[in-house]
Amino acid sequence: MTHPTPHLNIGLFGFGTVGEGLHEVFEKVRIKDAEIRRICVRDLSKPRSLPAPMFTDNPDDIFADPAINLIVELIDDAESSYKLVRRALEAGIPVVTGNKKMLAYHLEELIELQARTSTALLYDASACGSIPVIRNLEEYYDNDLLISVKGILNGSSNFILSKIFNESMSYDKALRLAQELGFAESNPTFDVDGYDSLFKLVIITVHAFGSYVSPDRVFNYGISTMNDADIRFANEKRRRIKLVAQVEKIEGNRFIMCVMPQFITKDKYIYSVEDEFNGVVIKGECYGKQFMFGRGAGGHPTGSSVLSDITARLHDYKYEYKKRHGSTPPRYTDELSFQLYLRYTDEADRELFRFTDITERYWSNDHKYVIGKVSLRNLVEIQERLRGKDLFLAAYPEN
């Protein structure tokens, strides 16, 4: 029998877009059983919207305060975040975090640490901002019935694609706007090259299928090399390019994972997901498809999700990781072929791809493309060699 925590005194790490967003959401909601007691920031000299005594730059001030019974960690740097989370769990202080990169690399050991210390770590804000995808996968979706989780998990790249496709805005201008609006990561490469989606996918997969797969083993490719020829091609085919992350069960109790652009037809739910919104399609054996849609980035949406984890702690909520116990969790594989569009200039680059079943080829003075089947394994093997090359690839699902 667990007992509810009487009053939460929060030690907050980080007061950037999400930290400040959380504070503002707190002000609106006025929860009487929880309050932010102290905030640890890197730079004390920055002007802040709260009185100076609230802030410290010394983590020990938070850890040494015996009244603090919840750490909320919203800093940018994954390694510092990891050290803070470990330190808190080892001290028996529950943690709420939004750091997806940290979780994607350390979740396996942090699950063990939670069990060893009987201390909770919650992180719904780490994937899809305000959409409660993790808690739903954890609590509602049974492992045996779930087939796939697929969707747009990165608000910034979706925002950029919307601006390009709907308003003919340039890529650079759209990216600058996403940064100004506070959607993009401090290093926007994470957004546009698919890493942010990949980190979220790794976390989602743990709660969808009970299996942890290191991000280094999963193919990810982003939108930063997309050019006018690719946009023209998408328009000609009446499709839109979306950056899609997916985990999907295949035969033999196995599942595949990948993050890459896809040419999406109008009949798909995610076709209409615009701007910084995220959309997640959950597919199951008995219920078909379900669609979750909402704001995936920004201070208030993400702050709301952090607040939801905080209030969950008032009821002593923790993830049970039920799918990791009991029945045998499915195994990750990259043995799957699918149809791919590759736009390239150099034939040597194309030869990296072991295409079969080619259905379309195009040559002109300024670019070439090919559509055919490739295996995920082929892509995983060559992914490091693709970085920086003058090419663009995207899944081209058959109708």
Quick one: 155 or 372, whose CB is closer to ligand HSE?
155
Give min distance, CB of 323 to ligand HSE, in A: 24
Among 96, 97, 40, smallest CA distance to 64 is for 40
Quick one: 258 or 391, whose CB is closer to ligand HSE?
258
Give min distance, CB of 384 to ligand HSE, in A: 23
> What number of chain residues touch ligand HSE (CB under 6 A)?
11
| 378 sits near ligand HSE (criterion: CB under 6 A) | no
293 and 368 in contact (C-beta within 8 Å)?
no
Give min distance, CB of 108 to ligand HSE, in A: 21
Is 200 noted as a catalytic residue in this protein?
yes
Other C-beta atoms closer than 10 Å to the C-beta of 275 total 18
Distances (CA, A) of 3 to 10, 317, 321: 18, 10, 20
CA distance 84 to 72: 10
Give min distance, CB of 350 to ligand HSE, in A: 31
Give min distance, CB of 131 to ligand HSE, in A: 11
Quick one: 107 or 297, whose CB is closer to ligand HSE?
297
Q: Which residues contact 8 (CB under 8 A, 6 or more apart)?
A: 33, 34, 35, 69, 70, 310, 313, 314
Phi/psi-derived region of residue 356, left when phi > 0, alpha when psi is between -120 and 50, beta in every other case? beta
Residues from 110 through 139 that contact ligand HSE (CB under 6 A): 129
Distances (CA, A) of 28 to 33, 130, 154, 301, 315: 14, 16, 26, 13, 21
Among 198, 297, 340, 371, binds ligand HSE (CB under 6 A): 297
DSSP state of 329: P
Give min distance, CB of 191 to ligand HSE, in A: 5
Residues from 194 through 253 that contact ligand HSE (CB under 6 A): 196
Work out whether the CA dihedral 317, 321, 327, 332 comes out positive or negative.
Answer: positive
Burial annotation 155-167 (CB, 10 A radius, 16+ → b, else e): bbbbbbbbbbbee
Binding-residue pattern over the window 138 to 167 for ligand HSE, x denoting contact by CB under 6 A? ----------------xxx-----------
Q: Which residues contact 89 (CB under 8 A, 6 or more apart)?
A: 95, 110, 113, 114, 117, 119, 121
- Catalytic residue chosen out of the listed positions 200, 242, 268, 368: 200
State the DSSP H helix or E strand holding residue 196, giving kind and residue range, or none if neither.
helix 195-209
Quick one: 193 or 334, whose CB is closer to ligand HSE?
193
Quick one: 94 or 98, whose CB is closer to ligand HSE?
98
Residues from 171 through 200 that contact ligand HSE (CB under 6 A): 183-185, 191, 196
- Would you give the distance in Å from CA 268 to the centre of its chain? 20
Quick one: 154 or 262, whose CB is closer to ligand HSE?
154
Among 286, 204, 192, 279, smallest CA distance to 248 is for 204
Among 11, 210, 222, 296, binds ligand HSE (CB under 6 A): 296
Mind telling me the catalytic residues?
200
What does the binding site for ligand HSE look like in residue numbers (CB under 6 A)?
Answer: 129, 154-156, 183-185, 191, 196, 296-297
